[in-house]
Homo-oligomer: A and B are copies of this chain.
Amino acid sequence: MQYEPDRQFLSKLSALKKDVAAYLENFLVKKHPESLYAPIQYTMSGDGKRLRPALLLLAAEALGGARSCSMPAAVGVELLHNFTLVHDDIMDKDDTRRGRPTVHQKWDTDVALLAGDGLVGLAYAALLRSESEKLPQIMRIFTDGIIEVCEGQALDREFEARDFVEMQDYLEMIGKKTACLLRMCTEIGGLVARGSEEHILALRRFGENLGMAFQIQDDLLDITADEKKLGKDFGSDVKQKKKTYMYIHAMQHGSKAQVAELQEIYSKSMITEQDILRVRSLFEQIGTLSETGKAVRSYIEKAESSLALLSEDVRTQDLHEFLRMILFRKA
């Protein structure tokens, strides 16, 4: 798939990002005490892609919602996303994020723990600035999302300790850990824009399927990225013994010998680059890479057809562009 980003869309995205940054800066200005807000401001000033607030703003705009009405919720979702990053980095013992030390590295674990807690409160505070008669429903979706993200993180950690995971369980996990937040963005975007029930349901399905495609694609890129990109992050899922879509597929469809070889590599205490290349070659032989690509395309089709359910007066072009941007990338 050859993807040429639409220039007009890219400049719109960059304008959205600036608006989000401006709202955030104002929202977090001159807060006290320092030991709570310095790490929060540090986290929020990182070079994030702001995909989630952009998605929420675009979903609202598709239904004719003004940006000023959807901005508080967009910022709320971004604060919530960063809460999960700060706490996940503690659990995963990650030292860097977006090229900078993680909060627990720059300060310490206690500071990062408390900063994450503060981010949840601030996320709700931003969301509660939304002037919508649907606020209780929006709050319920947001709250269910937080609970699901915690459940997804717990499942992910449980799976790392297991030898095998069923595909169905994997799909449940990524649904909660990744797709849930994107679904939340499109659904809340529809709600703040006062969309009809049918439109909101269609947007919700779009976000959900977009999220599933995004995560499986992420698994795939981890091991199929260009050779040039071979580096620290190449094959990190194999190194961490993650039960990805590919691993589960290969375990189910490989020959006895292939499965045994895969298991042998995954039981090693040190995974070399040679091991990762061997895993990739096994995934190729078993047909896992092409099947995983098919799965991504199937979720993309579902996402696209959800948009097709929206009536003609809904401007879905930016949402299509958003999907293309995050899914037709090569790395």
Contact = CB atoms under 8 A, between A and B. Distances in A.
Interface of A: 32-36, 83, 87, 90-91, 109-110, 113-114, 116-118, 120-122, 124-125, 128, 135-136, 139-140, 143-144, 146-147, 150-151, 153-155, 157-158
Nearest to A125: B143
B155 A117 contact: no
B140 A128 contact: yes
B155 A143 contact: no
A135 B132 CA distance: 13
A91 B118 contact: no
A153 to B, nearest CB: 6
Contact of A154 (B36, B90, B128): B36
B150 A117 contact: yes
Most buried by B among A109, A114, A155: A114
A183 to B, nearest CB: 16
A77 to B, nearest CB: 15
Interface of chain A, main secondary structure: helix
Contacts of A87: 113-114, 117
B158 A143 contact: no
Given A90-B113, A114-B153, A117-B87, A122 B147 contact: yes
Nearest to A83: B117
Given A91-B113, A110-B90, A146 B124 contact: yes
A124 B143 contact: yes
Nearest to A158: B35
Contacts of A113: 87, 90-91, 113
A83 B87 CA distance: 15
A212 to B, nearest CB: 19
A118 B153 CA distance: 10
A124 B155 CA distance: 22
Contact of A146 (B91, B121, B136): B121
Contact of A139 (B122, B128, B144): B128
A90 to B, nearest CB: 6
A119 to B, nearest CB: 9
Contacts of A153: 114
A230 B147 CA distance: 43
Contacts of A135: 135-136, 139
18 contacts: A33-B151, A33-B155, A33-B158, A35-B158, A36-B150, A114-B150, A116-B117, A117-B150, A118-B154, A122-B147, A124-B124, A124-B139, A124-B143, A125-B147, A128-B140, A128-B143, A135-B136, A135-B139
Given A33-B155, A121-B147, 5 more contacts: A33-B154, A87-B113, A113-B113, A124-B143, A139-B139
